[in-house]
Structure 1
Amino acid sequence: MILIPIIALLLGILVGAVVVVDLPIAFAPYAAIIIMAGLDALSGGSRSLLEGKFLPTVFLTGFLANTLLGLFLIWLGDGLGVALLTPAAIVFGMRMFTNLSVIRRVLLRRYEDFSFRRKRDSEETPEAVS
């Protein structure tokens, strides 16, 4: 099961390295917000997976809702002549850093628990007498 994401990642890297796409400069803010929404969804999904709360439907709907809201804000900002990419990028960035700090704490807690159990088990195991 773990091979599917790894294969998809390698395939994505390969396709990205081979295929060259020229994006018009007018679409750059839209592409940036889609990438930010994807990274936010990835960090949030990783966090919920580590916490044991991952639901694929929540992950997908969250990604789509964040992407659509971000795209709407960029479109609205273009129409009003206001740069709304910056506030959207700040919000996505804050969410990603929050998720990454929670991921770090969860992984650190798991490592400490593992180290404690390993140390406790090695102390409880009587040594063989020669």
Structure 2
Amino acid sequence: MGLIIGVVIGVFVQPDIPVWVQPYLPIMVVAALDALLGAARAYFERRFSDRVFIISFFANVITATLLVLLGNQLGVGSQLQTAVIVVLGIRIFSNVSAIRRFIFRS
């Protein structure tokens, strides 16, 4: 519920995103989506922990952002960003398929 309220507020308020964050925002969003879908999968598998969710949420976002930042510093930012997106995309589709299997089994 809080996520939905946050999205609605973000749409109507339209906050200004600092210029230095803009290159990393897509990676942050994908990493956060991965953590959210991982939490949903854990919930359906009855092994959800709010501590694990909070830690994995921030760890995913920070790690993905730091990898892209490191890639930018080394001059291979776009390649490393693509690699991060591919890995997180695979995890997202894996979690979605597990959730779908659980829903169809029930």
Q: Percent identity?
A: 39
Q: Which one of the candidate residues 77, 95, 100 is aligned to 1:99?
A: 95
- What SS class does the counterpart of residue 29 from structure 1 fall into? coil
Task: After TM superposition, list the pairs within 5 Å mapping 1:1-130 onto structure 2.
Answer: 5=1, 8-23=2-17, 26-82=20-76, 83=78, 84-110=80-106
Does the 8 Å CA contact 1:40/1:92 hold for their aligned counterparts? Answer: yes
Unaligned residue ranges in structure 1 (runs of 5+): 111-130
RMSD over aligned Cα atoms: 1.5
Moved over 6 A (4+): none
Task: Name the CA distance, whole Å, in 2 between partners of 1:45 and 1:27.
Answer: 25
The total of aligned residue pairs comes to 104
Rg larger for: 1
Q: Residues 29 and 74 of structure 1 are in contact (CA less than 8 Å); yes or no, is this contact kept in structure 2?
A: no
Question: Which fold has the larger relative contact order, with Cα–Cα distance below 8 Å and residues 6 or more apart in sequence?
Answer: 2
Question: With structure 2 as the length reference, what TM-score do the two structures score?
Answer: 0.88
Structure 2 unmatched runs, 5+: none
